[in-house]
Amino acid sequence: MIPTRTARARTPGLALAAGALLLLGACGSPGSASSNASGTSSGGASAAQASCDPVPGNQLVVLQDDKHLQTVDNVIPAVNAKTASDDPGLIPLLDSVSAALDTDTLIALNKSVDVDRKSSPDVAAEWVSSAGLAPADTTAGKGKKVSIGAADFSESATLGNIYATVLKAAGYDASVVTIGNREAYLPALEAGTQIQVVPEYVGTLAEFINKDVNGANAAAVASGDLDKTVAALTSLGDQVGLKFGTPSKAQDQNAFAVTKAFADAHHLTTLSDLAGACGGLVLGAGAECTERPFCQPGLEQTYGLTFSQFKSLDAGGPLTKAALQQGEITLGLVFSSDGSLATS
């Protein structure tokens, strides 16, 4: 996938949409170690490197992808081009959300909904108020109706309600409409009749439109470089009738986690730290991880990580997180904005 995440956050199906699948990657078969006859993994690290046993623990932490293996997937406002042209004040209001949103905030918002079981509208209203995002001009949107599309998962619903709350405070008649996956809602956004705004993800959407416009075999335009990926997305958006606001610092992308207890024991903050400290790791993820360049193969080739075993679980789901917490795997594929990563 270039990139992307799993179907949860970006729609099943598309390269970046089907997401995590693309981010998964491959060398070796499920349940097997990936080493060659010389005893050296494809990443080049010595198979004799000290093996680090998993350490159980309830709290999970994401190790920083310091070599940018994953494609950027920052949250970004996507707006119907005609709507943006007719209402120049709309995107700046959405950009105020981007300016206040980072990954830690997104994790906390997701925890409120997915773990604490609060409703997305309530969580959105509370956060907009606490972040001081109420616009100074409460009449800017008077007489203007805006429908915000949300994909069928809680993070998208919360982001859509945040956009709606800010717009309502500016006088808009704003509402949130759930329209399923990207294949369903993107044509509606491009047409601008049913919905006019959607909270989107930079890398995933860039690849989705790229494949749609340039064909299934088109060279990837999304990467670990945010500026270049946004530039590519902007150009593609011009071709299909979309405009974009400023990307936030918040990302919902594939990531790799260990327990905090394991990270503390080995003084780890990055994937490079892990590669330098430990070999013989046990990796857990969806089955596709052994076949996708942004998962096992990428970890081996980019970081030199070595694995003694791969456990086929799920992509960022409860099986992988439980296996980490119970000490059954060392490293697991998660989503960077997962509410279970919250520290409190």
Which residues neighbour 308 within 8 Å (Cβ) at sequence distance 6 or greater?
33, 51, 279, 280, 281, 282
What is the predicted pLDDT for the residue at 315?
86
Which residues neighbour 21 within 8 Å (Cβ) at sequence distance 6 or greater?
1, 6, 7, 286, 288, 292, 315
Q: 8 — phi, psi (to 5°)?
A: -55, -50
CA distances from 114 to 124, 155, 337 (A): 13, 9, 11
Q: 319 — phi, psi (to 5°)?
A: -65, -45
Q: Are strands 254-259 and 331-335 parallel, antiparallel or unpaired?
A: antiparallel
Dump pLDDT digits (tens) for 209-219: 999 999 999 99
What is the predicted pLDDT for the residue at 240?
98
Question: Which helix (H) or strand (E) segment is 242 a member of?
Answer: strand 242-244
Collapse the DSSP code of 249 into the 3-class scheme (helix H, G, I; strand E, B; otherwise coil) and give the result.
Answer: coil
CATH fit for domain 7-70+253-341, picks 3.40.190.120, 3.30.530.20, 3.40.50.300, 3.40.718.10? 3.40.190.120
- In 16-171 the beta strands, taken as DSSP E runs, fall at 60-63, 75-80, 145-150
Residues belonging to the chain: 344
Mean pLDDT score of the chain, rounded to an integer? Answer: 87
Structure tokens at 115: 């773990």
Please tell me the pTM assigned to this model.
Answer: 0.84
What is the predicted pLDDT for the residue at 344?
56
| CATH annotation of 75-244 | 3.10.105
Domain ranges of the chain: 7-70+253-341, 75-244
Dump pLDDT digits (tens) for 90-110: 999 999 999 999 999 999 999
Provide, rounded to the nearest whole percent, the portion of the chain with pLDDT above 90: 81
